[in-house]
Structure 1
Amino acid sequence: MALTAAFAVVIPEPAEARRGGYTRIIRQPADGSPLTIVVSLKEQRLQVFDSAGLVAQSPISSGRPGYSTPTGVFTILQKNREHYSNLYGDAPMPNMQRITWSGVALHAGALPGYPASHGCIRLPYGFSRSLFSMTQLGTRVVVNNNMVEPEPFRHPMLFAALPPGEADIPPPVRPVEGQADSSAAAGLGNVSAMLGVTPAAAAEAAMRVAARPMGSGPDVGNAKVPQQRTRIMATAERQAAIDESAAAIKGMEAVHAEAADHIAEVNGRLNAARQDLKGARLALPQLKRAADHAKREIEKAERRLKDFIQQQTREMSRMEAREEQRMKEHLADAGSDLASEVLLKRADERSAAHALDAQQRDEAALTESRLEGAYLDAIHDLELAQRFVSEQDGIIERRETRVQEVAQELIGVRKAYATARNALDAAIADHKRAIAALKQFAKPATVFVSRRTGKLVIRQGYEEVYAAPVKITFPTSRIGTHVFTATRFADRSETILDWQAMTLTSVSPELPQRAHRNGSDAAEAEELAPAPSAGNALERIEMSDETKMRIVELMKPGSAFIISDEGASPETGLYTDIIVQPRS
């Protein structure tokens, strides 16, 4: 009864209808069919599709100036019937369905008839309850400026699935104590057992599969498939891949440890040489400051000596003038008729003045000698300070040479270490992907190809399970953003899949590029690049047979194939599927 009410038709109020849309639940989604939610920001409208077409639609209110809603390909990451904003004053966000961890979600809210949110996608309250009941974690949400609808799509480059097959491995065995530890991947015994395969049985089955001759089976996704290969066999291969990658890690760890010890020893010597050089360099500024101080002391001593000499030159002139005046007075007194007492007194005064001048001359000579000594001492101090600076420069040069020698020695060691580290990191990444591939094997897969990175990535259950390079023809020409969704098996064979496709970018061809001056064939070829349509995007991707086989074994209803010019959004991370935000 409650489920029926959740999918009842929602009749809009007249005022709401006049505000540019209506809310309608057309039917219940088909059982087992993946849903796709499409949001048009331009039309302020949301539509829900399943494998049979439109399921529901509603007006929305999303974004406003300064708070735009991001466009792109998302999935529902979190669902809460009752939720409150941690950014906007605990504002209620009923029936919240998060599509980014940075804060964008679908939720119930006021719809004034125009964009009025902080970036979230507001829904009518009744419709938000119905939509909440329809969706599950992982439901894909496409936010675009224009409304796009998933259309049935067939193309020879789209992948089929492996047949389920019959168990070609021993029956499931209940895990026993210590069994998981005996696996090369600790803790993976339980994962294998949950899938009906123990590690030992899986490895044995994988060896039997590998030993079989290749058949001339059908082309699946443009890749030759061994006639006997099934999903059960692929599961066994994934366990074998875990064991192989775990063994590879052990070997790489030993090589890495040896390289790490060697680099630590050389680094120790390099650090010691650098510390010696650092100490020498730190001492140099102090020595240079001492030399600069000695220069200033010379300037001061020289200035004092010159000032004193100039002062004494002027004083000697005054002394000579006074002596000449005293001589004139003496001659005048010799012919004077003044009393002898007066003449004697005047003579005594002249003698005293002469003696004072003589004393000043003696004192000036001593002062000049002292100033000259200070000047010569300052010159000596400068020469000594400059010699210390020169010697320190030599010490620094020798220590720099030592550092360079050890650093040169370290280059080869670092290359060996980097090679070992990269090999170990690659082995660890392969092992993690192998574990994730087995753990998430039964879940739908998202395959993402980026023209920007030239890389294909597969995620299942929010984990990366495979990555490989791909080649894209016309690599500098736009390929567009396209989402292909496997909606259901076409028949009981459970191999052929029905697909829907959406193109988020215009399919009009780009303007021809200006030819290079040298008229290169590459430039001319780029001008012939096809329009970025869904079919052409598939045809421009070239991948290895191994990559095709890995994709084929993971295909099932709910899987998706996304192609874009851009790389994965920075929003892609822990507990997210591939998020793509193409440029508008």
Structure 2
Amino acid sequence: MRNPISGAISTLAARPLVRSALTVVTALSAVLFADALLSAPPAAAQQGFGNFFSYQAPKPRRTAKKKRQVDPAATQRAEPGKAGEAKKAEKSGPTQPVSIIVSLGDQHASIYDANGFVTRTRVSSGQAGHRTPSGVFSIIGKSRWHRSNIYSGAPMPYMQRITWSGVALHAGVVPGYPASHGCIRLPAGFAPQLFGMTRMGARVVVSPSDVQPVEFSHPLLPTPKMQEVQVPQETATQTAQQASVELASADVSPDKTAATETKLLNPIAFASVLKKRAVAEKAAASAAEKAALQAAQTAGAEARQATTDLDKAEANLKAAEAKAADPAPVPSAKVQPASQAPTDTGATPSPEEVAAQAEVAQAKAALEQARATKAEKSAAAFAAVEAYKLAAARAEEAGNLIDEAERRSEQVSVLISRKEGRIFIRQAWKPVWEAPITIRDPERPIGTHIYSAVEPSADGSKMRWTAITMPAAKASTSSSRDRKKSKTAEASQAAVAPPETASGALDRIELPDDARQRISELLWTGGSLIVTDEPRSPEMSENATDFIVLTR
């Protein structure tokens, strides 16, 4: 573009010098004004004014500050075509069960619910020397404002613990590469959202590379066992109007005075019924235990009093016998000589001797009565104590039934370990049952696979499953220069194909009938089956974790 100033100078130079100086000055001023407009930013050009020699932008207008809103896109990435689902899930909440899959190689975490992918976020895992372990975990603790017990009380907002040794998901600095001491850091804008999505026990899978749950079916996977329960017709009618697989209502206890109807309940609903019955039994058993205790205490006091009375009766008899053996002498006014004393071959007992003998006889009768009373009261006391023990045992049993019902209301987890050659069942983080299991070709690896029950059929007779197959990772053999070029240290680890597919792993397992029966009685939404080469991790606690499997 031709410079207006240069053109103007050429034009002026070609004109006669006789023109007035006023005309020249006017023309130059117009040219300089046009040049300022052309070289100024658009805002100044639109306003039509500015300094001719150095542009000065106009001061911006003061506007009211808008309330800052966290844009999910700034802290997380959604898969193509999934943005609508993620936004919908944020508003209405995810459909349980929710699972978290952390990809160490990609440094991101993906959230899935029963309907599939929900959202994704960046993370920062453990740096060299403090690698985040890969494997199968679950959330075993949650705290909004937690501080580290290891690193000088470092803040860990929105902490969700996955091991008792210190690994957790929490808000922190996410620089785009591994930087933590083993924890999985989440962006500050995303950590509260994830905290609200998850529940205790939510599955967490930490993988060397990205994996995702896929729809899966196999004949070996168990199905829920629906339980028949007699309920009042009114309650049954109300329940029938609702989903057939929902939890049992609060009033499902049988009423013998009302007409009843058979109702099929899923394992969780049946657990609710069992709990109500156990609570009623516990109340009755506790009342009986209290009454038996009072009766035992009363009987014990009476037995002790009978023992005291017996001791007293024995003492009285001894005293009476001693008195009768040495009665007091009878006083006499005149003592006759021995030669003049009458001879009495059948002397009559004195009144004192008669009284002493009567006292002995009375003491013996009292003693026999005390012995009989003691025997009776002691037997009653022993019987009362036995009745109390029985009542206490029944109350304890009822309490155990409540605990069992509460346990049955939680998700069930099953682990099949090729290393240990056993199947384990846990529910509510407590061991339920274990037994040996047969795996064909036990020397050949089977991999690590997680099968999750995500949704029942309309009648509850079947379960929809998803499967996750963990990639097997091998240690990196690349040079330090190559590792520096990679985005993350985990990205330099090469993933190899798993020894078995999810279907192939189940094909090699012979599940005993009793194991299948036990699982079916407990299985419902959120239940899971883990098949792995690995043994149970030492990170597990006897009654405070779900199964933990470490793959690295």
TM-score (structure 2 length as normaliser): 0.51
**SS of corresponding position for 2:145:** coil
* Structure 1 Cα separation of the partners of residues 208 and 68 of structure 2: 29
Counterpart selection for 2:151 from 72, 82, 88: 88
Q: Give ranges in structure 2 of 5+ residues lacking alignment.
A: 1-66, 78-82, 236-249, 257-263, 279-397, 475-497
Q: CA deviation at 1:437?
A: 4.6
Q: CA deviation at 1:11?
A: 3.0
- Give runs of aligned pairs for residues 319-330 of structure 1, distance below 5 A: none
Q: 2:61 aligned with 1:11, yes or no?
A: no
* Distance of aligned partners of 1:233 and 1:57 in 2 relative to their CA distance in 1, 3 Å threshold: closer
Amino acid at match of 1:27: K
User: Per residue, is there more helix in 1 or in 2?
Assistant: 1
* Distance of aligned partners of 1:78 and 1:195 in 2 relative to their CA distance in 1, 3 Å threshold: farther
Counterpart selection for 1:576 from 538, 545, 548: 545
* Distance of aligned partners of 1:230 and 1:483 in 2 relative to their CA distance in 1, 3 Å threshold: closer
Amino acid at match of 1:579: I
Whether contact under 8 Å (1:81, 1:94) holds in the other structure is yes
**SS of corresponding position for 1:141:** strand
Alignment correspondent of 2:140:
77
Alignment correspondent of 1:50:
113
**SS of corresponding position for 2:157:** coil
Aligned length: 320
Bigger mean CA deviation after superposition, 557-566 or 80-89:
80-89
Q: 2:503 aligned with 1:503, yes or no?
A: no
Alignment correspondent of 1:486:
453
**SS of corresponding position for 1:131:** helix
* Structure 1 Cα separation of the partners of residues 133 and 121 of structure 2: 19
Q: 2:4 aligned with 1:36, yes or no?
A: no
Whether contact under 8 Å (2:231, 2:252) holds in the other structure is no
**SS of corresponding position for 1:93:** strand
Alignment correspondent of 2:423:
456
Amino acid at match of 2:442: P
* Structure 2 Cα separation of the partners of residues 233 and 35 of structure 1: 23
Amino acid at match of 2:460: E
Whether contact under 8 Å (1:151, 1:501) holds in the other structure is yes
Amino acid at match of 1:73: V
Amino acid at match of 2:139: I
* Distance of aligned partners of 1:545 and 1:62 in 2 relative to their CA distance in 1, 3 Å threshold: same
* Distance of aligned partners of 1:230 and 1:11 in 2 relative to their CA distance in 1, 3 Å threshold: closer
* Structure 1 Cα separation of the partners of residues 153 and 273 of structure 2: 50
**SS of corresponding position for 2:414:** strand
Q: 2:529 aligned with 1:561, yes or no?
A: yes
* Distance of aligned partners of 1:76 and 1:507 in 2 relative to their CA distance in 1, 3 Å threshold: closer
* Structure 2 Cα separation of the partners of residues 102 and 540 of structure 1: 34
Q: CA deviation at 1:166?
A: 3.4
**SS of corresponding position for 1:167:** strand
Whether contact under 8 Å (2:70, 2:189) holds in the other structure is no
- Give runs of aligned pairs for residues 345-494 of structure 1, distance below 5 A: 437-491=404-458, 493-494=459-460
Alignment correspondent of 1:163:
226
Whether contact under 8 Å (1:7, 1:130) holds in the other structure is no
Whether contact under 8 Å (1:67, 1:117) holds in the other structure is yes
Deviations 1:274-303 (CA, angstroms, capped at 9, x unpaired): xxxxxxxxxxxxxxxxxxxxxxxxxxxxxx
Q: CA deviation at 1:490?
A: 2.4
Counterpart selection for 1:535 from 484, 503, 513: 503
Deviations 1:145-198 (CA, angstroms, capped at 9, x unpaired): 1111011111121111112433379999xxxxxxxxxxxxxxxxxxxxx99779
**SS of corresponding position for 2:199:** coil
* Structure 1 Cα separation of the partners of residues 233 and 432 of structure 2: 26
**SS of corresponding position for 1:111:** coil
Counterpart selection for 1:111 from 174, 177, 180: 174
* Distance of aligned partners of 1:11 and 1:31 in 2 relative to their CA distance in 1, 3 Å threshold: closer
* Structure 1 Cα separation of the partners of residues 443 and 173 of structure 2: 44
**SS of corresponding position for 2:225:** coil
Amino acid at match of 2:173: A
RMSD: 4.2
TM-score (structure 1 length as normaliser): 0.48
Whether contact under 8 Å (1:36, 1:49) holds in the other structure is yes
Whether contact under 8 Å (1:109, 1:123) holds in the other structure is yes
Q: CA deviation at 1:507?
A: 11
Amino acid at match of 1:68: R
Q: Give ranges in structure 1 of 5+ residues lacking alignment.
A: 18-22, 173-193, 202-227, 241-430, 509-529
* Structure 1 Cα separation of the partners of residues 232 and 69 of structure 2: 45
Amino acid at match of 2:187: P
Amino acid at match of 1:581: L
* Structure 2 Cα separation of the partners of residues 6 and 30 of structure 1: 22
Deviations 1:2-52 (CA, angstroms, capped at 9, x unpaired): xxx999751328xx99xxxxx995431766420110001111110000122
